[in-house]
Structure 1
């Protein structure tokens, strides 16, 4: 199972991807109607995923979280000092005993290098041209999704992009936050990459 939770000015939510060994994959997106911190959102995502797995009668569960804090608190590397973190950790520990095998690992973000090929391979002299890298920013994957419908290979990152993309639009190629004024959609606040 892969989980990821986040919060921001637009609200808080989480993504959960549960994969069975047979290849079946279940994807869930959550929107929290209560205020949370990023760490609380990560725990909420984990707990929601654990409840789903328990309901599906999963006996062995390997969880990959992108939160170093959650993974290390569960594995005893970090201590939970904050009262809310202590409560979340205790609840995870209580639910974990319902599985025959339960482990949490921190997953790391994958980077994908994209090379623009400007000339057909059959039209070159066999020497590959140097690759020019464009400056990437946090908005780049959202722009690529809005422009081309492409998503990151990492399923958790793809869920994040799908959740964030509806908040933006492209105005002459420039990403902007959406603003609804009357029946018309307007582009306000161009995003500076």
Structure 2
């Protein structure tokens, strides 16, 4: 019994293989050039009310988990002091959580302007707070500070006032 086997060359398959290889290679090259960073987001707020002061921090991880912190200040504080306390404590917490890229939002235009070097610190206490923020900034690979209107910082504003009581 014989088999009826014939050889038929298929040149189109060879050229298609080359096209498929180039297409796959290009996709791999495009994917590896796209670099993404896992940014954390932080909102901070301070509040001064009789009889106390408070600070509030909300940290949002890259996967969307929200971590809320309320800090009662056990000393007399101005509103700016409470805002700086919130910012500094939030940065320290972010460092402890391993955040390396951070977007920071606060409703204190003065604090944001001082940290972004758009305004100077005339008070020695504010200058000391400013220097502490500078030290903490060095612990991040990327950090951006942004001013947000008070109405857009409701979650932190409410708890900061609650803690201040």
TM-score normalized with structure 2 length: 0.70
Q: Distance between the aligned counterparts of 1:161 and 1:32, measured in 2?
A: 12
The one of 84, 102, 107 equivalent to 1:66 is 107
Query: How many residue pairs get matched?
Result: 124
More helix by share: 2
Q: Which has the larger radius of gyration?
A: 2
Higher relative contact order (CA 8 A, sep 6+): 2
The one of 104, 129, 149 equivalent to 1:88 is 129
Residue 44 in 1 paired to residue 85 in 2?
A: yes
Q: Distance between the aligned counterparts of 1:14 and 1:161, measured in 2?
A: 8
1:58 match: secondary structure: coil
Relative to structure 1, the CA distance from residue 19 to residue 35 in structure 2 (aligned partners, 3 Å threshold; closer, same or farther) is: same
CA contact (8 A) 2:57 2:90 kept: yes
Residue by residue over 1:57-110, the C-alpha shift from the partner in whole angstroms, topping out at 9 and shown as x without a partner, is: 100111101111110001111111110011100110111010000121111133
- Report the equivalent of 2:142: 101
1:7 match: secondary structure: strand
- Report the equivalent of 1:4: 45
Q: CA RMSD in A?
A: 1.8
Q: Which runs of 5+ in 1 are unaligned?
A: 112-152, 168-193
Residue by residue over 1:33-63, the C-alpha shift from the partner in whole angstroms, topping out at 9 and shown as x without a partner, is: 1111110110000000001000001001111
Q: Distance between the aligned counterparts of 2:150 and 2:84, measured in 1?
A: 18
Relative to structure 1, the CA distance from residue 158 to residue 71 in structure 2 (aligned partners, 3 Å threshold; closer, same or farther) is: same
CA contact (8 A) 2:56 2:70 kept: yes
Shift of 1:160: 4.1
2:58 match: secondary structure: strand
Q: Which runs of 5+ in 2 are unaligned?
A: 1-41
TM-score normalized with structure 1 length: 0.60
Shift of 1:156: 1.8
Note the 1:2-151 alignment, pairs <5 A: 2-110=43-151
More strand by share: 1
